Structure 1
């Protein structure tokens, strides 16, 4: 039976690789991306049977309107996977309000709004909500206060939702990847002033594969949390 998955962040990185895997096996995708250009690229890459929506995830009012439209269109939602993210590093003393607000909106408020709107469809399908968090949602580092705060909040959202929706059969999983070779990671290295080599980090395929495993669990089990870290590299000889 074809399943329906709603994904954010499907234009690149973990979200794109997950969308490709789900599309390849015949599932139906409802994808939220930021710009019309990326929407066209994603639609051309994945095929016409999927629907791609342009939504600015940093604009809560726009997200709320889009979420209501999706909820009206989708009777059953097998999974809602929150892959989108935003990051801007700065010490607390130099943190700009716009950077603080954008990270909270994209990383926390948008997942809350989308989840709230799509709960009827998730309940109808006894579906799964996956929050792609970060190891920054487990421990905060210097310069990462806004990002970590948004991810700590996302962890709280997931924990509360898991308890609230158990009676409706909705499963909730938080995935905590450490640094992963994505465009966001390249951006972080620029902000840190460091050279970037994707080979140094965990690959998006690894995280996407883990999410697929979560989505494919038999109905009698749930993985509440899973943490993924880049494996140690053997020393150069």
Structure 2
């Protein structure tokens, strides 16, 4: 397992010609599924904080797990040593906490914006030279809450609206540099974050078979569609919903 300060990328020197992808939030849920689908033909740098998740990622061919704390922007610049070339940057990490406006406070707003907006903004900024060099792709994993605000999730909804605005502005700013920028917006999905975020008064246990939750692999397939767009085109936004929503 790697750390930003102990990069060893000899395996890339003159050996692999595969495109390189970096995925945050890679240790579980949607991020893990994205790593799996991209690793079929990319060298993937899979970032996260869970030791168990990073160990599971290490078993996937063409995946290099890297510990990364997105709440610590000072740790971002050394990460560039892991990816002197970068073709695809996927921002999958996020936090979701229940707050009404009345319940929220400055600390709660700061925590959510730091993870869901500020971290992907800064990580993208740091990797812009590498992405411009490959005319690469940036994919932001948004949310349905970023197109229609969810009551009781006011802070999370605000962060996802901000993330979508950032993606749209970045696409226009970088058009002359050849970057492609997309937002993939999942609806309710069977992930650890969604299970932890369930209303404690909700005793119903939804099942994938009922179509009330999407499998994380459905969103990974959407990212794959974005990445595989032909060079003369780009997919700018995809919304994925469970069949019953």
TM-score with structure 1 setting the length = 0.89
Tell whether 2:116 aligns with 1:94: no
What's the offset of the Cα at 1:100?
Answer: 2.4
Q: Quick one: distance in 1 between partners of 2:143 and 2:158?
A: 11
Q: How many residues get paired?
A: 226
Aligned counterpart in structure 2 of residue 6 of structure 1, from 6, 22, 37 = 22
Per-residue CA deviation, residues 114-140 of structure 1 (Å, 9 max, x unaligned), is 100001110111100000100100111
Maintained 8 Å contact 1:179/1:201: yes
What's the offset of the Cα at 1:217?
Answer: 1.1
- The equivalent residue for 2:240 is 228
Between Structure 1 and Structure 2, the one with more helix by share is: 1
What's the offset of the Cα at 1:213?
Answer: 1.0
Aligned counterpart in structure 1 of residue 34 of structure 2, from 10, 15, 18 = 18
Structure 2 unaligned regions, length at least 5: 1-16
What's the offset of the Cα at 1:70?
Answer: 2.3
- Runs (4 or more) in structure 1 with deviation over 4 Å come to none
Alignment of 1:55-134 (within 5 A): 55-57=68-70, 59=71, 62=72, 64-134=73-143
Alignment of 1:99-178 (within 5 A): 99-178=108-187
Maintained 8 Å contact 2:57/2:64: no
Tell whether 2:205 aligns with 1:196: yes
Q: Quick one: distance in 1 between partners of 2:75 and 2:21?
A: 16
Tell whether 2:50 aligns with 1:41: no
Structure 1 unaligned regions, length at least 5: none
Aligned counterpart in structure 1 of residue 66 of structure 2, from 37, 53, 56 = 53
Shift of the 194–106 alpha-carbon distance from structure 1 to 2, 3 Å rule, reads farther
Maintained 8 Å contact 1:162/1:171: yes
TM-score with structure 2 setting the length = 0.86
Backbone CA RMSD of aligned residues = 1.8
